Structure 1
């Protein structure tokens, strides 16, 4: 299950970081302080992807054995 979680994390972390980056860049209030907010938003997205990928991998493993 760990290998599945790593593969899911790679895709999910990239996607969530891209979404966070787009939010910071497109919102004018956030864009003014983008040099500080972009690393924070992308780091938070990568950290959020870790437990989500474990949950998704667990569900994939459960569906595969059922």
Structure 2
């Protein structure tokens, strides 16, 4: 399951970071600090999301 988790994290992390950066830009937050915070938040929130998806895929597969 760890291998599946890392594969999913490699896909979900940048996706969530990109979504959060796009949201920050939409709110007209164009400073570097807002971009870094949005990217880090995306990568941090991708950890539990990847774990839950991997757990569901392992249980069903």
Q: What is the TM-score with the length of structure 2 in the denominator?
A: 0.91
Unaligned regions of 5+ residues in structure 1, if any?
none
Separation in 1, partners of 2:57, 2:3: 12
Give runs of ≥4 in structure 1 deviating > 6 Å: none
Aligned to 2:36: 39
Aligned to 2:5: 5
Once the two structures are superposed, what CA deviation does each residue of 1:4-35 show, in whole Å capped at 9, x if it has no partner? 0001111100100000111111222x23xx21
RMSD: 0.9
Unaligned regions of 5+ residues in structure 2, if any?
none
Separation in 1, partners of 2:57, 2:47: 15
Aligned to 1:18: 18
